[in-house]
Structure formats: structure tokens, C-alpha cells
Amino acid sequence: MPARIRFHLDEHVASAVAGGLQARGVDVTTSAGAGLLGDDDAAQLAFARSESRVLVTHDADFLSMVADGLEHDGICYCHQQSRSVRQMIETLFLLQECFQAEDMRNHVEFL
């Protein structure tokens, strides 16, 4: 059976997004919950990859890392303040319902 998408939200993403996704039954971790507050981008991405999670971020630095060829299990990038918390929850939930984890490998989804 194909694996469902699991998310990791970096510290720039509002914790309410995690709560909204969890309320819908989505498997999600946060930087705070994983003990990664203040850790650099490489550590965030390494954690997400070690857990086979799609990283959700507002930090454009991850786009540069990907452009340099860094392998990842998926990145969802949302420009800061371009989407409300509700819009982010709805979009990520839809993504999780429509795609499998393997579809996101080395893919960047712009929210």
C-alpha cells in the first residue's frame, strides 16, 4: 500500500497549522515538538528526511538548497503571509489526500 504524506513544519510555520492538520488526522511534527527550535535549515531538512516527512516552510533558503541538488522527501513552500492559517491547512490536507509520499520525493510544491 502506498505511503501517505507525513509533514514536518519548521519553526516559521504557525503551530495552529499543525493543530488543524492533526484535527483532520494528518501525521505532522513541528520543530518545537522535535526539539529543533533554533536549529539550522540543514538540521530541519535532515530531520524531515530521516522521518520521511515533507517539510513545510516559509523560508526561501530551502529553495536554494534544493536548487543546489539536495535530496529531500518533499518541500511545501509558502511565501510568508501569502496564505492564512486556514488556507494552509486546507491546501496541505488536500495535498495529503491527493498524493502519496513517493510523489513528493525531490518535489517542491508552492502553496
pLDDT tens-digit map of 19-34: 999 999 999 999 999 9
For residue 88, what pLDDT is reported?
Answer: 97
Q: Tell whether 1 is covered by a domain.
A: no
Q: Tell whether 2 is covered by a domain.
A: no
Q: Tell whether 32 is covered by a domain.
A: yes
Q: Tell whether 19 is covered by a domain.
A: yes
Q: Tell whether 26 is covered by a domain.
A: yes
- E strand or H helix at 90: helix 85-98
**CB neighbour class for 19 (10 Å; exposed up to 12, middle 13-18, buried from 19):** middle
* Predicted model pTM: 0.93
Q: Tell whether 48 is covered by a domain.
A: yes
Structural domain of 39: 7-110
- Work out the number of other CB atoms within 10 angstroms of the CB of residue 35: 9
Q: How many CA atoms lie within 13 A of 31 on its CB side?
A: 21
Q: How confident is the model at residue 46 (pLDDT cuts 50, 70, 90)?
A: very high
Q: How confident is the model at residue 81 (pLDDT cuts 50, 70, 90)?
A: confident
- End-to-end alpha carbon distance in the chain: 27
Secondary structure, 3-state, 3-16: CECCEEECCCCCHH
Query: DSSP class of residue 100?
Result: B
Number of domains comprising the chain? 1
